[in-house]
Structures are given as C-alpha cells and as structure tokens.
Amino acid sequence: MAIVEFKDVTRIYTSGDHELRALDGINFTLDEGKFVVILGPSGAGKSTLLNMLGGLDSPTSGTITVNGKDISTLNNNELADYRASTVGFVFQFYNLIPTLTVYENVTLVKDISKDAIDPKKMIAEVGLADHLHNFPSELSGGEQQRVSIARALAKNPKILLCDEPTGALDSETGVLVLKLLLSMAKNYGKTIVVVTHNQNIAKMADVVIRVKNGKIKSYEEQPTPMSADEVEW
Ligand SMILES: Nc1ncnc2c1ncn2[C@@H]1O[C@H](COP(=O)(O)OP(=O)(O)OP(=O)(O)O)[C@@H](O)[C@H]1O
C-alpha cells in the first residue's frame, strides 16, 4: 500500500525577479515499510524533497499525500501535528541538545508525541543503556548518531527521514550505524527515506530515486537489495 504520493509537486524559490525551480513536477509513490534512497548531485533538490515530506516546508503547487492525508495545504499548526505524529528525523550532525543527557534528549519526544515509546527501551535497543546519563560531548560520533536514531524512533513515527545519516562518520562506523538504523526500522515496521551521495547505501535499498535539476531522473525498484555485509565499502 502506498504511504506516500507526490503528484506534480513543484517548489519555486523567488529572489527579486529570479525564479528557481528546486522541485519541478515531481511524481512518485512509496509503499509502506520500504527502504528508499534518494540520490542526486548537489543542488538537485534532494533536501527540498525531504523537507516537503517532513512537513518542514510546503510545495508551491501539487499535492503530497502521506498516510491517506494531503499535507500540501496544511497550516503551520497542522504541519506541527503532522511532524509530531508521522515523521521522525535523523540528520548528518545528529542535532542533539548539548546540555541534555542521552536520556533527556530522547525523553523530550514524549512532550510532542502522544504515541511515544519508552525512551529507556529505545536507548537500550541502540546499545547505549550504559550511557543514559552522559552528555553528547562525552560520546563518539557513532554513539551520538545512535542516540538520534533512538530519539527519532521513540517518537514512534510512520516514516523515518534521514539526511546523510552516515555523512559525518568514518566508513566502518557508518556501516554499523546504517545496519542498526535499518534493522530497527524493519523491526518497528517503519518506512525509511535516506538522502545521500553514497552510491553504496543505494545498493541496499528497496527503491532508488535519482533526482536531477528538480526532476526525477529515474525510479528503480530493487527486488533483492544487498545487505550491508555484501556491499564493498
Ligand atoms: N530556502 C531556499 N531559498 C532559495 N533557494 C533554495 C532554498 N533551499 C534550497 N534552495 C535551492 O534549491 C536548489 C535545490 O537545493 P537542495 O538543498 O534541495 O539540493 P540538494 O540536492 O539537497 O543539494 P546538496 O546535496 O548539496 O544538499 C538549490 O539550487 C538551492 O540553492
């Protein structure tokens, strides 16, 4: 079943009399529970697309349907509800609050999600039960990204949106974090959308979407994606 549908989506940025079509007539659907990778050169429109799906921005025209609901015309309050209930975010630089402990960073989601999963359980699942009371600065990059995965999943969203989730990590740590991210997303039945420049990550995806100049260049389903261990990193 399709959980996401983009229909003729455009996003135009204007500056003076100059118009930039960051997204230019985007059409695609995503099925629930899939691992989707979005690839494309710098400036192609990947982050703009992810921001639309994340309810951080709205299209200039077109419709975006998520979980049966058109999110393209929501007002700011409705978008905040959408972000709280439907999407979780994992960013390249973790975006943890430096003055809060691991436990406190993850517990914050209980304030915004009605459906949150026990933070301690999620922290244990990412292997950081012994670091509950550490501050982010006391953790390695890989550990900080594991906290941000615990935080994103503790919100119990339908869709996990990840912007270069391994971009700040060395390749060995990146693979471990990616494996964790995928196995947890599968265990919890989440749809996961990853924006990356890393072609290797794409080998593991159920669906690979290539974006160029604000348009979909290709949409490829991979019936037998590789596992992280099969990919040469
Ligand atoms: N808020 C904005 N205002 C004006 N232009 C913007 C804005 N956000 C993005 N753009 C422009 O839209 C185009 C697409 O940007 P986007 O960030 O989506 O690309 P990207 O594929 O994510 O690139 P990268 O891989 O470098 O992050 C670019 O030309 C960018 O300069």
pTM of the shown model? 0.94
Q: Is 46 in the pocket of ligand 1 (CB under 6 A)?
A: yes
> What are 224-231's contacts with CB under 8 Å, separation 24+?
225/35, 228/175, 228/178, 228/179, 228/182, 228/204, 230/203, 231/200, 231/203, 231/204
22 lines ligand 1 (CB under 6 A): yes
Q: Which of 21, 48, 60 to mutate to test the pocket of ligand 1 (most atoms within 8 A of CB)?
A: 48
For the stretch 126-179, pLDDT in tens is 999 999 999 999 999 999 999 999 999 999 999 999 999 999 999 889 999 899
Q: How far, in whole angstroms, is CA 20 from its chain's centroid? A: 24
Look at residue 108 and tell me whether its pLDDT is greater than 80: yes
192-227 pLDDT, tens per residue?
A: 999 999 999 999 999 999 999 999 999 999 999 998
The tokens of 195 are what? 């924006």
57 CA closest ligand 1 atom index: 1
Measured between its terminal Cα atoms, the distance across the chain in Å is 33
Strands 61-66 and 2-15: antiparallel
Question: What single letter denotes the amino acid at residue 4?
Answer: V
- Sheet of 2-15: strand order equals 18-31, 2-15, 61-66, 69-70
Contact, 59 vs 23, CB < 8 A? yes
